[in-house]
């Protein structure tokens, strides 16, 4: 299936103006808020999320930063590229975005898969392009098939990706939303379903199937297939990436526990995995702070935007001098 621009009929209006920038292979959609006299902050959404997941947090952050929030390829209004949803491709998209749009050193904050990309930029972006990164509940190691540490994708909440891809298909080519809703309690283990609820990712299927939420309508389930197959992370070994980090890092670690019956990870990343990530980053010569938030759902920036904004501004001021 070739790369494609999403249909304009998918989208709804938001409080901020959106723009598109042509990066060559793809066009990236983004929104901006704040003065150019302030330090630059780039926000990276997680899988199944568009830029407007940050809509409530952006005005708070714009008091200290000029804020840019993007749709990654395959999400929101950005180009769909079936078969090319990899961390390396998306990381290089962001290097070009910083060059062409932001055009100055940038602080980066990403949630979930966006947190992996924030760490990717800290390791592999151009010299001096990244001032620091905030990784909001990032699935270090837990999104790999054969991780160097702890549970991998198939010993955590990863099976939700298999279900998404099976019932929705690349670019919604199957699109069986009622089938997906009916399949979740049948095809996902009870501990996965419990974890998705605790993480704030999914609740019980609505009566009659309902309509897909807007964020999923704007998402290419090819992402899910790429992570489930291992293609998304195949060229980006997490241990090697974290050992190559060249900027200060803040990790926020949210809800997690281990299923007592199976030992599977319920949550995005285990304690052992965060500890190993921190050890690799500090061994690379970079400061790495971890904020433990076991009561927090996966996406703090949507659930508690004030706390999210305060954490970023406080850390940036104390660690990298962004005021």
Whether residues 144 and 192 fall in one domain: no
| pLDDT (mean) for 90-117 | 98
Say if 270 falls within a structural domain. Answer: yes
Nearest-angstrom CA–CA distance, 270 and 45? 21
User: Are 251 and 115 contained in the same domain?
Assistant: yes
Per-residue pLDDT tens digits for 25-61? 999 999 999 999 999 999 999 999 999 999 999 999 9
Q: Are residues 93 and 179 in the same domain?
A: no
Nearest to 268 by CA among 138, 120, 173: 138
Q: Is 3 within a domain?
A: no
In tens, the pLDDT along 146-198 reads 999 999 999 999 999 999 999 999 999 999 999 999 999 999 999 999 999 99
- Rg from Cα positions in the chain: 18
CA distances from 22 to 12, 100, 108, 219 (A): 22, 9, 21, 19
Residue ending a domain, choose from 180, 206, 227:
227
Residues 6+ apart with CB under 8 A from 279: none
Backbone angles phi, psi at 62, to 5 degrees: -70, -10
Instruction: Answer yes or no: is 2 within a domain.
Output: no
Residue 113 has pLDDT above 60, yes or no: yes
pLDDT of residue 204: 57
pLDDT in tens, 3-26: 788 888 899 999 999 999 999 999
Q: Name the average pLDDT for the chain.
A: 95
Residue with tokens 């602080």: 107
What's the confidence (pLDDT) of residue 205?
55
Q: Are residues 134 and 23 in the same domain?
A: yes
Residues 27 and 126 in one domain: yes
In which order are the strands placed within the sheet that holds 288-292? Answer: 18-22, 27-33, 66-70, 40-44, 106-111, 130-136, 249-253, 288-292
State whether residue 258 is helix, strand or coil: strand
Q: How many domains does the chain have?
A: 2
Residue 170 placed within a domain: yes
Phi/psi at 226 (5° precision)? -65, -40
Give pLDDT, residue 322.
Answer: 60
Check whether residue 215 and residue 239 sit in a common domain.
no
At 62 the pLDDT is 98
Q: Are 21 and 56 contained in the same domain? A: yes
pLDDT at 208 over 80: no
1, part of any domain:
no
pLDDT tens figures, 219-263? 999 999 999 999 999 999 999 999 999 999 999 999 999 999 999
Do 167 and 87 reside in the same domain of the chain?
no
The range of the structural domain enclosing residue 312 comes to: 8-152+235-320
Residues 14 and 126 in one domain: yes
CATH (domain of 282): 3.40.50.1820
Q: Are residues 91 and 206 in the same domain?
A: no
Q: Which residue among 227, 252, 269 closes a domain?
A: 227
Q: Using CA atoms, how far apart are residues 9 and 73, in angstroms rounded to an integer? A: 18
**Residues 6+ away with beta carbon under 8 Å from 247:** 122, 130, 131, 132, 133, 286
Is 64 part of any domain?
A: yes
pLDDT band at 209 (very low <50, low <70, confident <90, very high): low
Tell which wins on pLDDT, 319 or 253. Answer: 253
Res. 323: pLDDT tops 70? no
More confident residue, 208 or 287: 287
pLDDT score for 210? 80
Which pLDDT value is given to residue 320?
79
Question: What pLDDT is recorded for position 207?
Answer: 46
Strands (E) located in the chain: 18-22, 27-33, 40-44, 66-70, 106-111, 130-136, 249-253, 256-258, 265-267, 288-292
Examine residue 301 and state whether it is found in any structural domain, yes or no: yes
Percent of the chain whose pLDDT exceeds 90? 92
Instruction: Indicate if the pLDDT at residue 203 is higher than 90.
Output: no
Residues 129, 264 within the same domain = yes
Q: Say whether both 257 and 223 belong to one domain.
A: no
Residue ending a domain, choose from 211, 227, 243: 227
Specify if 96 maps to a domain.
yes
Rounded mean pLDDT of 283-308?
98
Of the pLDDT bands very low, low, confident and very high (cuts 50, 70, 90), residue 321 is confident
């Amino acid at each position: 299936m070739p790369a494609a621009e999403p249909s304009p009929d998918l989208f709804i209006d938001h409080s901020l103006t959106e723009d598109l920038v042509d990066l060559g292979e793809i066009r990236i959609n983004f929104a901006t808020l704040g003065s150019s006299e302030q330090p630059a902050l780039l926000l990276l959404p997680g899988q199944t999320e568009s830029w407007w997941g940050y809509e409530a947090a952006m005005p708070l952050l714009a008091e200290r930063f000029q804020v840019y929030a993007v749709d990654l390829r395959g999400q929101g209004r950005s180009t769909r590229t079936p078969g090319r949803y990899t961390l390396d491709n998306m990381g290089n998209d962001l290097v070009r975005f910083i060059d062409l749009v932001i055009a100055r050193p940038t602080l980066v904050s990403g949630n979930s898969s966006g947190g992996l990309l924030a760490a990717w930029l800290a390791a592999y972006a151009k010299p001096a392009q990244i001032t620091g990164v905030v990784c909001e509940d990032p699935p270090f190691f837990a999104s790999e098939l054969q991780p160097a540490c702890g549970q991998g994708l198939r010993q955590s909440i990863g099976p939700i990706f298999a279900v998404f891809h099976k019932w929705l298909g690349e670019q919604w080519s199957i699109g069986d939303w009622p089938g997906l809703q009916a399949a979740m309690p049948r095809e996902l283990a009870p501990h996965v379903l419990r974890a998705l609820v605790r993480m704030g990712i999914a609740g019980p299927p609505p009566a009659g199937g309902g309509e897909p939420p807007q964020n999923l309508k704007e998402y290419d389930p090819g992402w899910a297939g790429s992570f489930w197959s291992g293609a998304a992370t195949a060229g980006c070994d997490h241990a090697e990436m974290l050992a190559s980090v060249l900027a200060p890092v803040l990790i926020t670690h949210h809800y997690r526990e281990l299923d007592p019956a199976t030992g599977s990870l319920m949550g995005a990343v285990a304690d052992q995995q965060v500890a190993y990530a921190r050890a690799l980053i500090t061994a690379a010569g970079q400061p790495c702070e971890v904020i433990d938030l076991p009561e927090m759902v996966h996406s703090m920036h949507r659930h508690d935007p004030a706390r999210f904004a305060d954490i970023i501004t406080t850390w940036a001021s104390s660690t990298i001098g962004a005021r």
